[in-house]
């Protein structure tokens, strides 16, 4: 949600931002918000005037009654009653206008950064940097499920019978590798000074609407039937919701947090749940980074966050690149965002393994998260989030980049303490 004062003072800037995001269908919302805002303020002024008049008239009635001027007192009472009817009408009209005003405001996208490349969709995202040499071995890299199956490490067929498409069982060394990566990522972030948090895995609807747009919610969230509870698609949701309605101590900012959670997603409208693969699935686990800070700190933290992910992947000998997300690929609440993509030697291309976003004060405005500055003024915080690591996509990158010609997998030194000291794992079947 953007500042209404910005729409009042510079509606053309807001409209151009909508055009830059290729959402021309939302342009009428700006004029509608301005009209609703004007009507809201007019009704508020009228209501305040009527309430002030009610107090004055009530005093008059008492005085007239004391003076036995009953007819005049009845006339004033009639005026009070008439004003009460109009106040009731105003209250009803304000409620209706406020509801529509909120819907419109929640639908207008956040102002994007000037350095965000313009483009309609993810096909126009821009490569910014590469880290590590993208090596292609001189032997064939099998499909990732075939690699995992060679270790007797995955069972997709049983999961399909139990839960349907988009689920999986991980077993043995592969399950251990999955957990090892998450545990290593947790310790990696703790060593960076982040506080480790395990958040709730379900959140109320008002938190959902505070952390994401309507379109995202519809495409991602599973709702608990009969309850005001949604399963989280990322721990960012409950982590930011934790501060809803709070005024934070500026001396404790920035808050740097790293959270673990299972995540579940509908993947509605996505490119499709793979029949065998585990790239796009309904259930996964993730280690996340969250920063809550002042506006002056957010650009610096954005740069730090995505670089932490790069550092983590490079410590596991996986080549990656940073991809700047274009305007049309940004979710409505994002100021700027970039993806970290890992090299796939089998596909000869990079694929997404993490996403870093600066949402400026968009979530804070929706959720009422503020801080007092040094002058004692209330201001909205900025919020940022970034993926530390999200198996099983991480597993795909890992097995493809660490597969040896004999079918074994090398374990990088950073992960060995989490794998019982193993430097290699060998397939169970070939």
Lowest mean pLDDT among 8-22, 242-256, 262-276: 262-276
- pLDDT at residue 302, as a whole number: 98
Gap between the Cα atoms of 218 and 221, Å rounded: 6
- CATH 1.10.287.40 domain residues, the chain: 4-107
- pLDDT at residue 391, as a whole number: 85
- pLDDT at residue 78, as a whole number: 79
- pLDDT at residue 251, as a whole number: 94
Residue 317 pLDDT greater than 80, yes or no: yes
Residue 271 pLDDT greater than 90, yes or no: no
- CATH 3.30.930.10 domain residues, the chain: 122-425
* Cα→Cα distances 119→16, 76, 164, 293, 303, Å: 14, 64, 36, 29, 22
- pLDDT at residue 275, as a whole number: 54
Q: pLDDT: is 392 or 60 the higher one?
A: 392
- pLDDT at residue 394, as a whole number: 92
- pLDDT at residue 277, as a whole number: 78
Bond preceding residue 26 cis, omega within 30 of 0: no
Segment 356-397, tens digit of pLDDT: 999 999 999 999 999 998 888 999 999 999 999 998 889 999
Segment 187-201, tens digit of pLDDT: 999 999 999 999 999
CB 132 within 8 A of CB 342: no
CB 260 within 8 A of CB 287: yes
Residue 103 pLDDT greater than 70, yes or no: yes
* Cα→Cα distances 192→80, 188, 311, Å: 65, 7, 11
CATH class of the 4-107 domain in this structure: mainly alpha
- pLDDT at residue 385, as a whole number: 97
Q: Which residues pair with 356 in a beta bridge?
A: 338, 386
- pLDDT at residue 269, as a whole number: 47
Segment 113-141, tens digit of pLDDT: 999 999 999 999 999 999 999 999 999 99
Percent of the chain with pLDDT over 70: 95
CB 244 within 8 A of CB 367: yes
Gap between the Cα atoms of 397 and 225, Å rounded: 36
> What is the residue-wise DSSP string for 117-133?
PP-SSGGG-EEEEEES-
- pLDDT at residue 37, as a whole number: 95
The C-alpha angle 115, 121, 125, rounded to 5 degrees, equals 45
Output the pTM of the full model: 0.89
CB 196 within 8 A of CB 186: yes
- pLDDT at residue 38, as a whole number: 96
CATH fold for domain 122-425: BirA Bifunctional Protein; domain 2 (3.30.930)
- How does the average pLDDT of the chain come out, rounded? 92
Say if residue 405 is exposed, middle or buried (CB neighbours under 10 Å; 0-12, 13-18, 19+): exposed
- pLDDT at residue 390, as a whole number: 93
End-to-end CA separation in angstroms for the chain = 54
Segment 211-267, tens digit of pLDDT: 987 677 777 889 999 999 999 999 999 999 999 999 999 999 999 999 999 999 887
Angle at which helices 172-191 and 393-402 pack, to 10 degrees? 110
Residue 322 pLDDT greater than 90, yes or no: yes
The C-alpha angle 221, 105, 269, rounded to 5 degrees, equals 30
Q: Average of pLDDT values for 64-71?
A: 71
Q: Which of 316, 320, 318 is CA-nearest to residue 341?
A: 320
């Amino acid at each position: 949600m953007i500042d209404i004062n910005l729409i009042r003072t510079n509606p053309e800037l807001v409209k151009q931002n909508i055009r830059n995001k290729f959402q021309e269908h939302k342009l009428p919302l700006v004029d509608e918000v301005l009209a609703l805002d004007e009507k809201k303020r007019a009704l508020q002024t009228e209501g305040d005037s009527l309430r002030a008049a009610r107090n004055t008239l009530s005093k008059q009635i008492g005085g007239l009654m004391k003076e036995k001027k009953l007819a005049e007192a009845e006339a004033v009472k009639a005026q009070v009653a008439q004003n009460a009817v109009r106040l009731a009408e105003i209250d009803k009209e304000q409620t209706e206008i406020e509801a529509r005003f909120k819907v419109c405001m929640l639908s207008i996208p956040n102002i994007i950064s000037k350095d965000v490349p313009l483009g309609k969709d993810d096909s126009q995202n821009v490569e910014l940097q590469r880290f590590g040499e993208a090596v292609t071995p001189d032997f064939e890299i099998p499909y990732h499920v075939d690699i995992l199956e060679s270790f007797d490490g995955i069972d997709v067929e049983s999961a399909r019978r139990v839960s349907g498409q988009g689920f999986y069982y991980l077993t043995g060394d592969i399950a251990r590798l999955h957990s090892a990566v998450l545990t290593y990522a947790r310790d990696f972030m703790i060593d960076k000074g982040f506080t480790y948090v395990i958040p709730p895995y379900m959140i109320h609807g008002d938190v959902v609407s505070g952390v994401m747009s309507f379109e995202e919610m519809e495409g991602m969230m599973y709702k608990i039937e009969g309850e005001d509870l949604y399963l989280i698609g990322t721990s960012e949701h409950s982590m930011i919701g934790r501060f809803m309605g709070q005024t934070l101590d500026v001396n404790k900012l920035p808050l740097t947090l790293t959270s673990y959670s299972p995540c579940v997603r509908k993947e509605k409208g996505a490119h499709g749940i793979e029949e065998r693969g585990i790239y796009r699935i309904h259930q996964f686990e993730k280690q996340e980074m969250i920063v809550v800070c002042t506006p002056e700190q957010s650009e610096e933290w954005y740069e730090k966050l995505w670089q932490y992910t790069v550092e983590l992947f490079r410590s596991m000998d996986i080549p990656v690149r940073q991809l700047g997300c274009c305007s049309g690929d940004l979710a409505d609440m994002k100021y700027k965002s970039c993806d970290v993509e890992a090299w796939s030697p089998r596909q000869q291309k990079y694929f997404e393994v993490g996403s870093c976003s600066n949402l400026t004060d968009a979530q804070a405005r929706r959720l009422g998260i503020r801080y007092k500055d040094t002058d004692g003024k209330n201001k909205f915080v900025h919020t940022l989030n970034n993926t530390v690591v999200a198996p099983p996509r991480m597993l795909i990158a890992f097995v493809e980049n660490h597969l040896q010609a004999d079918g074994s997998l090398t374990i990088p030194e950073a992960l060995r303490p989490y794998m019982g000291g193993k430097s290699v794992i060998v397939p169970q079947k070939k």
